[in-house]
């Protein structure tokens, strides 16, 4: 099964907002609530920032918010800061056969 | 504090074998599903394998099925990934991660690099 689809790059200015998209199918992202977003800084492990499509783990700033509509999930980063510059990956549970899919990642540049 | 520490990576020839381990602490290991995820150099994340909390159920990506085997030692808080018939395309940093719920990975180790090359 194919990976989820993410735009390879995105950018936004300091203090502004940017929304990243993640598109799947009804067999994966559209069929389950288990959509996650991860932030990965260079040379570091991924960090969970959104789960169940909209929930933030403890300690994640409320500048990060998630949503889902149909087969597309979105991550919005508000009040962009320099430290938000990173790679962002989405993932979705995809049923017991495929199990878990990741998107190809979006590199976010803060201008 | 939740900690996951991978080990066992290194250089291996094509067709060779390697076993990765992930030692965990800071949580009740036996109550969580666990995952392996890999990242080829300069590439994105790829799900590799998952195992249920009691080790009774395992899952594999098609790309590694029949070549990799996930297991866990709950009394000693260790997750393993036995890798065989390795190919150059298996070259990647391998991360272990804790499964908060279905398909949700909430804590990750720092990864261990596996390089398959002659």
pLDDT in tens, A55-104: 999 999 999 999 999 999 999 999 999 999 999 999 999 998 889 999 99
B59 vs A contacts (CB less than 8 Å): 96, 99
Q: How confident is the model at residue B3 (pLDDT cuts 50, 70, 90)?
A: very high
In the predicted model, what is the mean pLDDT of residues B10-33?
98
Q: What is the per-residue pLDDT for A2?
A: 79
Task: Assess whether pLDDT exceeds 80 at residue A51.
Answer: yes
In the predicted model, what is the mean pLDDT of residues B54-78?
96
Of all helices (H) and strands (E), which one includes residue B50?
Answer: strand B45-51
Q: What is the per-residue pLDDT for B85?
A: 97
Q: What is the per-residue pLDDT for A1?
A: 65
Q: Do A100 and B108 make contact, defined as CB atoms within 8 angstroms? A: no
Q: Is B47 helix (H, G, I), strand (E, B) or coil?
A: strand
> SS3 for chain A, per residue?
CCCEECCCEEEECCCCCEEEEEECCCCCHHHCCCEEEEEECCCCCCEEEEECCCECCCCCCCCEEEEEECCEEEEEECCCCHHHCEEEEEEEECHHHHCEEEECCEEEEEC
Q: Do A105 and B100 make contact, defined as CB atoms within 8 angstroms? A: no
Q: What is the per-residue pLDDT for A21?
A: 98
Task: Assess whether pLDDT exceeds 90 at residue B14.
Answer: yes
Q: Which residues make Cβ contacts (< 8 Å) with residue A71, sequence separation at least 6?
A: A23, A24, A25, A26, A29, A30
Q: What is the per-residue pLDDT for B41?
A: 96
Distance CA(B117)–CA(A82), nearest Å, equals 38
Q: Do A99 and B50 make contact, defined as CB atoms within 8 angstroms? A: yes
Q: How confident is the model at residue B102 (pLDDT cuts 50, 70, 90)?
A: confident
10 Å CB burial of residue A39 (0-12, 13-18, 19+) is: buried
Selecting from B47, B101, B110 the residue whose C-beta is nearest the C-beta of A45 gives: B110
B111 vs A contacts (CB less than 8 Å): 45
Q: Do B105 and A99 make contact, defined as CB atoms within 8 angstroms? A: no
Task: Assess whether pLDDT exceeds 70 at residue B47.
Answer: yes
In the predicted model, what is the mean pLDDT of residues B72-99?
98
10 Å CB burial of residue A96 (0-12, 13-18, 19+) is: exposed
In the predicted model, what is the mean pLDDT of residues B74-90?
97
Which among B2, B82, B72 has a CA at the least distance from the CA of B30? B72
Distance CA(A11)–CA(B82), nearest Å, equals 40
Q: How confident is the model at residue B12 (pLDDT cuts 50, 70, 90)?
A: very high
Phi-psi region of A83 (alpha: psi -120 to 50; beta: other; left: phi over 0): alpha
Q: How confident is the model at residue A45 (pLDDT cuts 50, 70, 90)?
A: very high
In the predicted model, what is the mean pLDDT of residues B5-24?
98
Q: Do A105 and B102 make contact, defined as CB atoms within 8 angstroms? A: no
Selecting from A57, A96, A99 the residue whose C-beta is nearest the C-beta of B47 gives: A99
Q: What is the per-residue pLDDT for B68?
A: 97
End-to-end CA distance of chain B: 40
Residue B46 sits at the chain A interface (C-beta within 8 Å): yes
Average pLDDT of chain A to the nearest whole number: 96
Q: What is the per-residue pLDDT for B46?
A: 97
């Amino acid at each position: 099964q194919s990976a989820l689809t993410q735009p390879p790059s995105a950018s936004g200015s300091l203090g502004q907002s940017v929304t990243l998209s993640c598109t799947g199918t009804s067999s994966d992202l559209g069929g389950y609530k288990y959509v996650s977003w991860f932030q990965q800084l260079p040379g570091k492990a991924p960090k969970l920032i959104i789960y169940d499509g909209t929930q933030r783990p403890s300690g994640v700033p409320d500048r990060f918010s998630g949503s889902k509509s149909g087969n597309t999930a979105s991550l919005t980063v508000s009040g962009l800061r320099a430290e938000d510059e990173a790679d962002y990956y989405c993932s979705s549970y995809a049923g017991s056969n495929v199990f878990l899919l990741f998107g190809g990642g979006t590199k976010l540049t803060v201008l | 504090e939740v900690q996951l520490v991978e080990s066992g990576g290194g250089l291996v020839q094509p067709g060779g074998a390697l076993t990765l381990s992930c030692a965990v602490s800071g949580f009740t290991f036996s109550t969580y599903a666990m995952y392996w995820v890999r990242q080829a150099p300069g590439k994105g994340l790829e799900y590799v394998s998952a195992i249920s909390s009691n080790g009774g159920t395992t899952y594999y990506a098609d790309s590694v099925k029949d070549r990799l085997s996930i297991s866990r030692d709950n009394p000693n808080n260790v997750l393993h990934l036995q890798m065989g018939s390795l190919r150059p395309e298996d070259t990647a940093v391998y991360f272990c991660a804790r499964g908060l719920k279905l398909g949700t990975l909430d804590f990750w180790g720092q990864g261990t690099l596996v390089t398959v090359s002659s």
